[in-house]
Amino acid sequence: MKLIISSVSGEPIYEQIKTQIREAILGGELKAGEALPSLRKLAKELRVSVLTVTRAYNELADEGVIQNVQGKGSFVMDRGNEVMRESLIAQTKEHLDDAVAAAKAADLPLTDLHNLLDDAYRRTIQP
């Protein structure tokens, strides 16, 4: 797993770490039961504080995506993929509710809203 951190993105570094680990799990790069790099090793590789990596790992553990085992490390949970998928679906529904409210406020017809969604989806899957 290769993580790339940007200090100029405006997104906190721990969030960048969380996002990339989630993507690695969802994409199948990290499997259930697989160990994540140690806190110190990842902090050294990324040239960030151990506390930054600790926060990312702890938040992923709180979400049920990984499990921190004292003295052994952090591991991808068996249901990590499923938990993340459910969370992402809930986020999608919330954002769609906001989009629908904005479309209604703009008096945008449903067919036009569908077209906008189709266009947005296509833009994200094209290289």
Distance from C-alpha of 77 to C-alpha of 83, rounded to nearest angstrom: 9
Q: What is the dihedral of CA 64, 124, 7, 67, to 10 degrees?
A: 10
Q: What are the average pLDDT values for consecutive 10-residue runs of the chain, which has 127 residues?
A: 90 95 86 94 96 96 90 86 76 92 95 94 78
Distance from C-alpha of 99 to C-alpha of 82, rounded to nearest angstrom: 25
pLDDT at 83: 73
pTM > 0.85: yes or no:
no
pLDDT at 42: 96
CATH 1.10.10.10 assigned to 13-78: yes
Instruction: Delimit the domains of the chain by residue range.
Output: 13-78, 81-125
Q: What is the dihedral of CA 83, 87, 8, 120, to 10 degrees?
A: 130
